[in-house]
Structure 1
């Protein structure tokens, strides 16, 4: 993603990020990104269009970025296809992916994951690549309007692959080194042991997390306290990212079924913990499908529709209503983000310049499905 500068593994004196400290916006602010104003741009790769929640990003001191990634070209073109092996090194190592349509195959540290709508992946500085994605063949404008969901079904999996992706700070400001280029990848061997160097401030507990949308820990639990009004029962799914993110971010999907159709996989043995709505020094809501109503502290109400995002201070808004057949992502940004610092431009370029030197050993695995992904750049 970044311009690579020359780097020397043996002489670099880099330690931890030593740039400006990160600061969540502690004010009662409300910033809305409307889908009607969305700008989809091929920022990093020609096959993917990125739609950034820029209003929220800037209002929150450019500390946390949420964007939608929409696949827009077939995989068989010479300038698209599988990616290289690479790393993302945002402050705290945080990268979140929530698939909302189509299907993908991701390779994390040599282990393949076939995922569809509703799958959640969170990783902290792990060597990875994207191997496969679906493309609908529709023209761009039609492709961008196909519905999104967090429930896997045959129709949604036939669309072009899309996902929501989140980073702490902007991907252009932190290292994204290419480890193995696409022309040098040997499918019979897998990078396994990487450069061990105290280069990154990954928090305690941070690592790799995958939640399948049909797993037991992904079941939707009914919200019974009456805080969110709806003609349909409101359900909550904990996407499980608080601990594996290093206690930086919490995540929940709040949803309702279509009228007369039980779509959401549900738990019958527990109810949702309403305290999830209190988590976060800053909160972000993104409507994946349907619509939701919110109330500001002064009692002013506003509505968000599919594709809209609101970023707000801790107590600046509350969710008060959901339409039927609505899927809503809620992210709570925790105070530990304020303990992180950004990479300086010099640090970023030096790490990018190290590129393939980061890998120091390769192991051939009997089966690619053996073993869990490991964090790289850590002793």
Structure 2
């Protein structure tokens, strides 16, 4: 991705990705990624270590990648600190971030978000950067094992910043142009609107989505049907990503309180809909904290603990039990994903090579906390 093809100065906009089609694994497969086998690599920048759900990624035809991102260096170091302004062009409209510890400041097309555990952001082709993150000061081994949470409790807020991140296909195969380098950022003005076009394969209704973990829509509702055994009641939070993802992915957090204590912010409204937890041609579960038990089609038990993930075909596994103080991210990959194609290496390099040429207009926001991101490459 560091070598770019020559850019035609007469370039008028993006073409549809015309590479291989995306194909979900339609078999009854089960792929498990264990935390004990995890590796953490500084794939993009030295302060961020990436733990990829590799077994599930490969078993699912490399159609969908979930990874943990753990910050591991202080922000004041010259090789760490804020990032440049860049954007991702994944197939469709999908980059998902779920913060699981610490605090971050993200800037999405000039709109600043201060986010902690449980915050959800979904976006595509929006120019953004990371301005700030917390760092605990712990050695690497200890830092990578600090507890994570989808609830903004005081303990999780105090650790180094971490988040779970998901892309359709591998982000190393996507165009990821840097549009304003770090050394050229003027804090008084931020690029606002980029090259307008109608050809990138963004599904209808797809757009920017931010869900605060304490918003009414994010409150946990009881799971009504009792299909999951637990010593404490099971609750479900709808991440609200099905529509803003363009009906590509549906997401929930399934969770329990600690024994004798109420941790989850709950709603007194109706119970969650069990049918929502049946959606997905392929499902991905990540245990954020606690323990969970699944059964495969043959009735064999699969036990997972914090940091473990399982990727499976539509009816290949079922969640049957949860421990107390457990939180599980569930992502259901929908049929619409198979209407998308991957970028070819040539397309990727051409778009990366455009860099700041993608930006064609700059506006100034009166307040950096007002308004909504516009989606740079979309009218």
Query: Normalised by the size of structure 2, how large is the TM-score?
Result: 0.98
1:264 has 2:264 as partner = yes
Q: For residues 333 and 48 of structure 1, what CA distance do their matches in structure 2 show?
A: 27
Specify the SS of the correspondent of 1:58: helix
Q: For residues 35 and 342 of structure 2, what CA distance do their matches in structure 1 show?
A: 29
Bigger shift: residues 356-365 or 141-150: 356-365
1:111 has 2:99 as partner = no
Q: For residues 145 and 344 of structure 2, what CA distance do their matches in structure 1 show?
A: 38
Q: For residues 212 and 317 of structure 1, what CA distance do their matches in structure 2 show?
A: 30
1:249 has 2:249 as partner = yes
Q: How do 1:73-222 and structure 2 match up within 5 A?
A: 73-222=73-222
Bigger shift: residues 224-233 or 358-367: 358-367
Q: For residues 184 and 129 of structure 1, what CA distance do their matches in structure 2 show?
A: 13
Q: For residues 39 and 259 of structure 1, what CA distance do their matches in structure 2 show?
A: 32
Q: Any conservation in 1 of the 2:109–2:376 contact (CA below 8 Å)?
A: no
- Structure 2 counterpart of 1:68: 68
Specify the SS of the correspondent of 1:92: coil
Bigger shift: residues 160-169 or 11-20: 11-20
Q: For residues 170 and 214 of structure 1, what CA distance do their matches in structure 2 show?
A: 31
CA RMSD of aligned residues (A): 1.1
1:320 has 2:320 as partner = yes
Deviation readout 1:139-171 (Å, 9 max, x if unpaired) = 000000100001102221110000000000001
Q: For residues 238 and 48 of structure 2, what CA distance do their matches in structure 1 show?
A: 28
Q: Give the CA deviation at 1:12.
A: 6.0
- Structure 2 counterpart of 1:278: 278
Q: For residues 346 and 205 of structure 1, what CA distance do their matches in structure 2 show?
A: 29
Specify the SS of the correspondent of 2:123: strand
Cα distance change of structure 1 residues 9 and 262 upon mapping to structure 2, 3 Å threshold: farther
Deviation readout 1:229-266 (Å, 9 max, x if unpaired) = 00000000001000000100000000000000000000
Q: For residues 2 and 339 of structure 1, what CA distance do their matches in structure 2 show?
A: 29
Q: For residues 295 and 160 of structure 1, what CA distance do their matches in structure 2 show?
A: 34
1:23 has 2:28 as partner = no
Q: Any conservation in 1 of the 2:14–2:200 contact (CA below 8 Å)?
A: no
Unmatched 5+ stretches in structure 1 = none
Deviation readout 1:74-121 (Å, 9 max, x if unpaired) = 000111100011010011131000000000000001010000000000
Q: For residues 3 and 99 of structure 1, what CA distance do their matches in structure 2 show?
A: 32
Bigger shift: residues 112-121 or 263-272: 263-272
- How many residues of Structure 1 are paired with residues of Structure 2 in the alignment? 379
Q: How do 1:42-53 and structure 2 match up within 5 A?
A: 42-53=42-53
Q: Give the CA deviation at 1:378.
A: 2.4
Q: For residues 286 and 374 of structure 1, what CA distance do their matches in structure 2 show?
A: 31
Deviation readout 1:174-209 (Å, 9 max, x if unpaired) = 100001000111111121121113341011111110
Q: For residues 24 and 2 of structure 2, what CA distance do their matches in structure 1 show?
A: 25
Q: For residues 337 and 348 of structure 1, what CA distance do their matches in structure 2 show?
A: 19
Q: Give the CA deviation at 1:2.
A: 4.7
Q: How do 1:328-347 and structure 2 match up within 5 A?
A: 328-347=328-347
Q: For residues 133 and 274 of structure 2, what CA distance do their matches in structure 1 show?
A: 36
Unmatched 5+ stretches in structure 2 = none
Q: For residues 13 and 207 of structure 2, what CA distance do their matches in structure 1 show?
A: 25
Q: Any conservation in 1 of the 2:99–2:115 contact (CA below 8 Å)?
A: yes
Q: Any conservation in 2 of the 1:2–1:176 contact (CA below 8 Å)?
A: no
Bigger shift: residues 203-212 or 10-19: 10-19
1:304 has 2:282 as partner = no
Query: Normalised by the size of structure 1, how large is the TM-score?
Result: 0.98
Q: For residues 195 and 221 of structure 1, what CA distance do their matches in structure 2 show?
A: 42
Q: Any conservation in 1 of the 2:192–2:376 contact (CA below 8 Å)?
A: no
Q: For residues 240 and 132 of structure 1, what CA distance do their matches in structure 2 show?
A: 26
